[in-house]
């Protein structure tokens, strides 16, 4: 658990680093111009990301350390956000919980998008019978309520960090596939693809070199929009008692875990995790909008 | 909720007599639905049987004074519920039950599933419909206002709240609402199910909470959608023509823009409704409303296969029909679309 | 998980001290004054035919009804029995009002009306009668007639002759007689094909049930069982009609309308939703019930039940969460009580899986983890628990709470216990602890509060690192049965009797039916053998003490204690005598209940 989401430090040489910096700087400058709220959201997300990466260094207490002296104590100077039912420091748990939740969101969305992307490209490009069968299969998947799909998967796999990730990822595959497929359908007929085909390029080469790159921008937009959804899904599953297993904190199980089963929950345990989760979803949503405006304003109508 | 293949080529063929083509289209769509529904039944049927956790062991452990069956008793109880027969017979049996209309009996309480679905479903349908209506009542005007006065302070305020309400987890909002009513007024909505025709006031007390919490979130999405499409429509030629003709702005908006902007909004709403009918489990739990979602989750947890199978099938049917209804609505609202 | 937080230990010590203090305070309140070394006193009371007048804190008229004219036998039992041919229940209060619907908040998740096959006993209790019952008039301290009017016992406690009430009818009009009793008992002891019996385990002592005449039944037992009548008060000992059993081949799972002899008759039912009963005008106790009917509000969780009462949707709930209970205590129109229950909180060891097969490891855990801190932690979200040894609080054989609070392992001060536990761990070859896994069902009280607290304390004291495996509530039984666990927080042992023999025999004897911790201790088995035939209460007490000492040395499970239920009700609910109850109950039949409004 501790190592979850660790990002190895980047050890590049100086000049590529500078070049990267310039690119990043340029992109962010342009991004800030097209979408100021998006840029603000990005700043919030970067802050949250840093908090997540250095969670264990930043947390003032061990997030798993229970203490009989601190059972349900309101915020104080010593413990800024109070402590929970078993005396664990709420601030430390929110910090480490942010790390877990972001990790779950990123990994599950990445998984869902990779699978959905490949499926969409294959199905859209190959067409014919493959497409027909895969379409029917998608119909079946899409007509399952997402939460039921997740519940079934969790009931089958048992609760755990990775099972939650898989369950959330699974619910996101069908939607992505549909979007990517529709993009592929239009790209497939474009002149340069026809040209490549006429030049005798192999199917695989066309798919990888010519069709897939065209789908990256829509994919990024769909992905950024899904991240907020993944955070929400994790919270909802935790609320139903099927989220990240205790004692490890996540924003979801702080918000959902005890809340549903307590008559008068301490306000600091309702407000702070709830606000953190709302901020995270808000930031992802706004950033996603900004990214879409930035990458392809025309996508707007199609993806809503 | 990505874009569904609204734009697939088959929809846009402009040939044939409308009525006839429409009938063919509907039949075609219904035929296409059969493999989907079949897929759903097989998938859920197999999934329930693959899940670890045996309904029998579960039942007898819970109710019978925490007792575990001996191997012999277990086999007998299994036989009693017909679980010892081959899988394909069990599947056929279920299908027969479905077509006969009673959908089989629950392992747990031995009641016909149809009863449960009727009672629970009514509540879920009620709050889902109310939420959709609410989302239209709130979402459309707000989206419209924001679009008409785009980039004014009104627009910014609207966009701020829209984005905010899209981000707040609805079950959390619901839970907070209940906590406040209990703590401040010592009041909470009645537990259990009271039907509209039995006691309208109590019924409203039960469904209003979930309807508002969900309606607000859906309304936010709708407002955003409406604003975006309206802005797009405003740029279209015919709107510009109408404006240059000197038509009053109000008429332009209502007669031309709104009519066109309503299509995507309708799609979103339809899909939201379909998703809601499956039961918004977390919100139902937050309000302790015993709706269909609650029944389904409990069915999964208790491994009451029969109820899960039927509710999921029902959900599939609803999904297919709502999608069809949306497509047909397109035909009425947008004369450019023909079915062929 | 790290051991970084040693620095909190002194502070924790203070917390533990506080917890101990609170437990002591709880122990001194009136609701808990039952157990201890009072067994002999109670026995004398029975001999002198004066019946626990002084232990019952009731108004005067109570004592009158409780007084008994003759006692047939002088065998001591854990629960005194009252025989009086003219005995009938009534509300204690003068001039009870009639009418009204009583609303109760409990889960309505029953899967059938067949109590032997998973039926919801707590829901259908008012529809049926049992042979004998716990006396609601003296706070469930004695056993009094229900369908049986009087009984006789031989001095070896191996034959019980029950004289049944006459003129009792089922709700459908059919008469009740000895055939009904025989049919039900036979079904419990030897169920027909396709039927399972949850009552089988408690009736192992019964050799045969014979009909003497239409209103007399004789039980022949293979072992002396002085507490036999106590077995018959269990919730699942309800008497269905012989006709109904025959018509359904003994399998009542599919009946749609439960038909009993009870004070209330079935009215309406929707699963997981509601349950309605109306009063039975032909009830065999003249003048009862007072109520017009009972409505059950479906409330599953502890706080939900409490909220239902606080918000006026229910008049009563037998066990609410402590948070709502505290809220109710502050209100003038609501009363609360705390009643000991007969089930316990534990963490089961899988005794077959190393290293838990080593008694030293089990004892180390038994010693090192503070019960007081855990109870203090989960109490607000769940239920209070007494720190007890292996016998429930209300049992006359239980060790006094005061004495337990000073015993190694059970006491709040952990310094010596942890040192000893660490020594045991080192001796067993695990000076630095080991990795293991603990099963817990999802739901805040267990998964989010109780289990993490236990795990963290286990880690800090002994370095044992237990990963939490969360399972769904309903698969808990299967996991216990299959043995696919190392530690399990969902395990509970208990029963319906104050005499703990059957409970021990079912849960802790080598190879027993419900021995889910897979415990085996030859010494304990020997003690159980001796207990089976022992009639003398003093010797019985000695044997139980011996058994408890054995289990303290070689614990079958990590036992936190027996729980307490927290009933909450509006002041206008009368006739239940909740304030003076010695025992929690969720199978009340509401016959003496009335509403003062």
**What secondary structure, in 3-state letters, does C204-215 show?**
CCEEEEEEEECC
Taking contacts as CB-CB distances below 8 angstroms, the residues of chain C near B299 are none
Contact A159 C457 (CB under 8 A): no
- Contact A66/C at CB under 8 A: yes
List the structure tokens of C418: 């942890």
* Total CB pairs under 8 A between chain A and B: 135
pLDDT computed for residue B10 by the predictor: 41
Nearest CA in chain C to A157: C471
Nearest CB neighbour to C468, from listed A85, A246, A261:
A246
Q: Which of C324, C453, C471 sits opposite A263 (nearest CB)?
A: C324
Q: Report CB contact under 8 Å: A68, C2.
A: no
The tokens for A84 are: 């929970």
B167–A281 CB contact, under 8 Å: yes
- Predicted pLDDT at B147: 86
Neighbour-count burial of B89, counting CB atoms closer than 10 A to its CB (0-12 exposed, 13-18 middle, 19+ buried) = exposed
CA distance A10 to chain B (A): 33
For residue B16, the model assigns a pLDDT of: 47
Angle, nearest 10°, between helix axes C371-378 and C451-462?
150
**Residue A154: pLDDT band with limits 50, 70, 90:** confident
Q: Which residues of A touch C412 (CB under 8 A)?
A: none
Contact criterion met (CB < 8 Å) for C272 and B182? no
Stretch 451-510 of chain C: residues touching chain B, C-beta under 8 Å? 472-478, 480-481, 492
Residues of B in contact with A258 (CB under 8 A): none
How far are the Cα atoms of B4, B12, B182, B266 from residue B327, in angstroms, in the given order?
Answer: 11, 12, 44, 10
pLDDT at B59: 64
**Which of C391, C377, C348, C547 lies closest to C457, judged by CA?**
C377
Q: What percent of chain B has pLDDT over 70?
A: 85
A236 with B169: Cβ contact below 8 A: yes
Which chains touch B (3+ CB pairs under 8 A)? A, C
B100: which 2 tokens?
């006969």
Q: Copy the structure tokens of residue B177.
A: 């609402």
Q: CA-CA-CA-CA torsion for C108, C113, C115, C117, nearest 10 degrees?
A: -100
Instruction: Tell me the CA distances in angstroms from C20 to A69, B181, C23, one per residue in order.
Output: 13, 36, 5
Contact between chains at B2 and A139 (C-beta distance less than 8 A): no
Q: Which two tokens stand for residue C371?
A: 């019960």
- Would the CB atoms of A258 and C472 count as touching at under 8 Å? no
Q: How far apart are CA A51 and CA B299, in angstroms?
A: 40
Is the distance from CB of B313 to CB of B98 less than 8 angstroms?
yes
Q: Tell me the per-residue pLDDT of A115-133, one tens digit each, with 9 for 90 and over.
A: 999 999 999 888 888 888 8
Query: What b-and-e string marks burial along C323-359, b requiring 16 or more CB atoms within 10 Å of the CB?
Result: bbbbbbeeeeebbbbbbbbbbbbbbbbbbebebbebb
Q: Residue C381 has what pLDDT?
A: 81
CB C419 within 8 Å of CB C9: no
Q: In whole angstroms, how far apart are CA A294 and each of A46, A193, B110, B180? A: 18, 25, 58, 42
Chain A residues with CB under 8 Å of B282 CB are 147, 236, 239-240
Q: Tokens 């209502």, residue? A: B254
What integer pLDDT is reported at residue B241 of this predicted model?
76
* Burial classification of residue A7, based on how many CB atoms lie within 10 Å of its CB (0-12 exposed, 13-18 middle, 19 or more buried): exposed
According to DSSP, the residues that pair with C274 across neighbouring strands are C270, C297
pLDDT, chain B, mean:
79
* The pairing of beta strand C274-279 with beta strand C216-221: unpaired
Q: Which residues make Cβ contacts (< 8 Å) with residue A189, sequence separation at least 6? A: none
Q: A246, C448: Cβ pair inside 8 Å?
A: yes
Residue C578, phi then psi, degrees to nearest 5? -65, -35
Q: What is the ipTM of this complex?
A: 0.81
Closest chain A residue by Cα to residue C450: A86
Q: Is residue A64 within 8 angstroms of chain C, CB to CB?
A: yes
Interstrand relation of C148-153 and C143-145 (parallel, antiparallel or unpaired):
unpaired
Q: Which of B80, B84, B108 is nearest to C250 (CA)?
A: B80
- On whether any CB of chain B is under 8 Å from the CB of C304, the answer is yes
Residue C340 region, left (φ>0) first, then alpha (ψ -120 to 50), else beta? beta
> Across the interface, do B282 and A236 touch by the CB < 8 Å criterion?
yes
Residues of chain C with confidence (pLDDT) below 50? 1-74
**Residues sharing a CB contact under 8 Å with residue B51, sequence separation 6 or more, in sequence order:** A152, A155, A156, B303
Minimum mean pLDDT range among B176-180, B209-213, C361-365, C412-416 = B176-180
Cross-chain residue pair C297–B191, CB shorter than 8 Å: yes
Contacts of A257 in chain C (CB under 8 A): 444, 447-448
Between C60 and A258, the higher pLDDT residue: A258
Inter-chain touch B175–A259, beta carbons under 8 Å: yes
pLDDT at B71 over 50: yes
Interface test mutation site (partner B, options C204, C235, C330, C474, max chain B beta carbons within 10 A) = C474
pLDDT of res. A259: 63
What residues of B are in contact with residue C121 (Cβ under 8 Å)? 63, 65
Predicted confidence at residue C28, as pLDDT, reads 39
Instruction: Please give the residue of chain A at the shortest CA–CA distance from B50.
Output: A156
- Give the list of residues 6+ apart from residue C137 with CB closer than 8 angstroms, or none: C58, C62, C65, C66, C89, C90, C92, C144, C577, C592
Chain A contact partners (≥3 CB pairs within 8 A)? B, C
Residue of A nearest to B273 (CA): A145
- pLDDT the model gives residue A258: 62
Is residue B337 scored above 60 in pLDDT? no
Task: Tell me the mean pLDDT in the region B151-177.
Answer: 88
- Strand, coil or helix: what is C409? coil
Residue B326 distance to chain C (closest CA, Å): 35
Q: Cβ of C477 and B182 within 8 Å? A: no
Dihedral through CA C388, CA C390, CA C394, CA C399, nearest 10?
A: -70
Using a CB-CB cut-off of 8 Å, the residues of chain A touching C479 are: none
**pLDDT at position A138:** 87
Which residues of chain C does B298 touch, with a Cβ-Cβ cutoff of 8 Å?
272
Q: Are B230 and B256 in contact (CB under 8 A)?
A: no
pLDDT score recorded for residue A24: 78
Whether the CB-CB separation of C42 and C49 falls below 8 Å is answered with no
What would the pLDDT profile of B4-46 be if each residue is shown by its tens digit? 334 333 444 444 456 677 788 888 888 888 888 888 888 888 8
Query: What is the four-CA torsion angle of C419, C420, C425, C426, rounded to 10 degrees?
Result: 70
**pTM assigned to the model:** 0.82
Residue, of C557 and A213, whose pLDDT is higher = C557
CB contact under 8 A, B39 and A140: yes
> B102-147 pLDDT, tens per residue?
777 777 666 778 888 888 888 888 999 999 999 999 998 998 888 8
Please report all neighbours of C, defined by 3+ CB atom pairs within 8 A: A, B
C277 vs C593: CA distance, rounded Å: 14
CA dihedral C289, C293, C298, C302 (to 10 degrees): -40
């Amino acid at each position: 658990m501790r190592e979850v989401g660790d990002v190895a430090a980047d050890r590049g040489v100086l000049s590529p680093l500078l070049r990267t910096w310039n690119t990043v700087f340029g992109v962010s400058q342009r991004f800030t111009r097209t979408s100021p709220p998006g840029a603000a959201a990005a700043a919030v997300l970067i802050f949250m990301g840093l908090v997540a990466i250095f969670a264990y260094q930043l947390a003032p207490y061990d997030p798993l350390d229970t203490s009989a002296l601190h059972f349900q104590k309101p915020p104080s100077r010593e413990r800024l956000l109070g402590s929970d039912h078993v005396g664990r420091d709420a601030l430390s748990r929110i910090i480490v919980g942010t790390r877990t939740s972001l990790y779950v969101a990123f990994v599950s969305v990445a998984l869902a998008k990779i699978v959905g992307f490949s499926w969409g490209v294959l199905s859209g490009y190959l067409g014919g019978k493959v497409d027909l069968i895969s379409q029917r299969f998608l119909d079946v998947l899409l007509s399952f309520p997402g939460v039921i799909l997740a519940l079934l998967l969790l009931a089958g796999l048992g609760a755990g960090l990775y099972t939650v990730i898989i369950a959330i990822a699974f619910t996101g595959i069908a939607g992505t596939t549909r979007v990517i497929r529709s993009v592929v359908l239009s790209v497939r007929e474009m002149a340069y693809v026809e040209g490549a085909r006429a030049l005798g390029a192999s199917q695989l080469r066309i798919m990888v070199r010519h069709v897939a790159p065209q789908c990256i921008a829509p994919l990024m937009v769909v992905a950024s929009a899904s991240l907020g959804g993944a955070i929400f899904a994790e919270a909802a599953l935790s609320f139903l008692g099927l989220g990240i297993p205790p004692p490890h904190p996540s924003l979801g199980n702080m918000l959902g875990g005890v809340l549903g089963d307590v008559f008068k929950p301490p306000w600091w345990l309702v407000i702070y995790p709830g606000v953190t989760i709302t901020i995270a979803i808000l930031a992802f949503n706004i950033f996603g909008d900004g990214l879409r405006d930035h990458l392809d304003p025309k996508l707007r109508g199609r993806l809503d | 909720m990505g874009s569904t293949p609204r734009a697939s080529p088959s929809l846009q063929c402009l040939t044939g007599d409308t009525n006839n083509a429409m009938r063919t289209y509907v039949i075609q769509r219904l035929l296409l639905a059969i493999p989907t529904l079949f897929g759903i039944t097989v998938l859920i049927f197999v999934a329930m049987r693959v899940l670890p956790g045996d309904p029998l062991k579960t039942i007898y452990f819970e109710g019978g004074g925490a007792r575990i069956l001996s191997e012999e008793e277990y086999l007998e109880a299994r036989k009693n519920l017909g679980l010892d027969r081959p899988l394909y017979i069990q599947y056929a049996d279920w299908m027969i039950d479905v077509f006969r209309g009673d959908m089989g009996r629950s392992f747990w309480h031995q009641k016909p599933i149809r009863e449960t679905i009727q009672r629970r479903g009514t509540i879920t349908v009620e709050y889902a419909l109310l939420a959709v209506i609410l989302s239209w009542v709130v979402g459309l005007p707000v989206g419209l206002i924001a679009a008409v006065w785009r980039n004014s302070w009104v627009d910014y305020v609207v966009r701020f709240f829209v984005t905010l309400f899209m981000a707040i987890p609805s079950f959390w909002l619901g839970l907070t609402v209940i906590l406040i009513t209990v703590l401040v007024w010592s009041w909470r909505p009645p537990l259990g199910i009271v039907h509209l025709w039995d006691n309208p006031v109590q019924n409203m007390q039960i469904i209003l909470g979930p309807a508002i919490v969900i309606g607000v979130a859906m309304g936010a999405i709708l407002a955003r959608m409406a604003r975006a499409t309206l802005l797009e429509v405003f740029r279209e030629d015919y709107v510009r023509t109408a404006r240059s003709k000197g038509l009053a702005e109000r008429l332009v908006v209502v007669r031309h823009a709104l009519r066109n902007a309503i299509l995507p909004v309708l799609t979103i709403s339809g899909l939201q409704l379909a998703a809601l009918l499956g039961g918004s489990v977390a919100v139902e739990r937050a309000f302790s409303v015993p709706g269909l979602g609650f029944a389904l989750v409990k069915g999964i947890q208790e491994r009451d296969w029969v109820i899960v199978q039927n509710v999921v099938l029902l959900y599939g049917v609803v999904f297919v029909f709502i999608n069809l209804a949306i497509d047909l609505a397109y035909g009425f609202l947008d004369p450019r679309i023909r079915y062929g | 998980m790290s051991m970084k937080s040693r620095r909190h230990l002194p502070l924790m010590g203070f917390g533990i001290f506080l917890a101990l203090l609170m437990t002591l305070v709880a122990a001194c309140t009136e609701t808990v004054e039952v157990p201890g070394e009072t067994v002999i006193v109670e026995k004398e009371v029975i001999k002198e035919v004066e019946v626990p007048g002084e232990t019952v804190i009731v108004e005067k008229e109570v004592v009158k009804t409780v007084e008994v004219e003759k006692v047939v036998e002088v065998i001591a039992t854990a629960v005194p029995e009252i025989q009086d041919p003219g005995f009938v229940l009534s509300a204690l209060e003068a001039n009870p009002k009639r009418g009204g619907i009583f609303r109760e908040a409990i889960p309505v998740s029953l899967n059938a009306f067949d109590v032997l096959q998973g039926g919801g006993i707590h829901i259908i209790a008012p529809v049926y009668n049992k042979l004998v019952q716990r006396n609601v008039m003296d706070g469930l301290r004695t056993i009094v007639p229900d369908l049986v009017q009087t009984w006789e016992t031989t001095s070896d406690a191996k034959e019980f002759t029950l004289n049944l009430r006459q003129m009792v009818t089922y709700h459908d009009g059919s008469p009740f007689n000895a055939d009904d009793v025989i049919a039900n008992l036979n079904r419990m002891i030897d169920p027909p094909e396709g039927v399972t019996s949850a009552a089988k385990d408690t009736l192992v002592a019964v050799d045969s049930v014979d009909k003497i005449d239409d209103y007399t039944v004789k039980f022949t037992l293979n072992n002396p069982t002085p507490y036999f009548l106590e077995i018959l008060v269990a919730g699942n000992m309800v008497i269905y009609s012989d006709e109904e059993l025959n018509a359904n081949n003994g399998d009542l799972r599919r009946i749609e309308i439960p038909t009993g002899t009870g004070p209330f008759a079935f009215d309406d039912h929707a699963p997981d939703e509601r349950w309605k009963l109306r009063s039975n005008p032909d009830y065999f106790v003249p003048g009862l019930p007072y109520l017009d009917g009972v409505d059950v509000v479906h409330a599953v969780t502890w706080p939900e039940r409490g909220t239902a009462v606080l918000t006026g949707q229910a008049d009563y709930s037998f066990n609410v969460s402590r948070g709502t209970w505290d809220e109710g205590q502050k209100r003038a129109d609501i009363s609360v009580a705390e009643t000991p229950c007969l089930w316990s909180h534990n963490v089961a060891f899988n005794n077959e899986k190393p290293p838990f097969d080593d008694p030293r490891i089990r004892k180390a855990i038994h010693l090192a983890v503070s019960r007081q801190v855990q109870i203090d932690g989960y109490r607000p979200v769940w239920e209070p628990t007494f720190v007890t040894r292996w016998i429930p609080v209300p049992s006359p054989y239980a060790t006094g709470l005061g004495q337990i609070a000073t015993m190694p392992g059970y006491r709040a001060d952990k310094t010596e216990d942890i040192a000893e536990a660490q020594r045991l761990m080192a001796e067993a070859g695990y000076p630095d602890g080991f990795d293991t896994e603990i099963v817990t069902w999802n739901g805040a009280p267990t998964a989010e509060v109780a289990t993490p607290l236990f795990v963290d304390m286990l880690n800090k004291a002994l370095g044992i690192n237990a990963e939490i495996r969360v399972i769904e509530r309903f698969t808990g039984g299967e996991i216990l049965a299959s043995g696919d666990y190392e530690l399990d927080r969902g395990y509970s042992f208990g029963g319906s009797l104050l005499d703990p023999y059957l409970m021990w025999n079912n849960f802790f004897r080598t190879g027993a039916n419900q021995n889910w911790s897979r415990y085996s201790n030859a010494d304990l088995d020997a003690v159980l053998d001796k207990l089976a035939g022992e009639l003398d209460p003093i010797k019985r007490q000695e044997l139980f003490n011996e058994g408890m000492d054995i289990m303290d040395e070689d614990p079958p499970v990590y036992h936190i204690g027996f729980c307490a239920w927290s009933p909450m009700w509006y002041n206008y609910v009368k006739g239940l005598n909740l304030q003076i109850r010695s025992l929690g109950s969720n199978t009340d039949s509401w016959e003496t209940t009335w509403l003062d409004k």
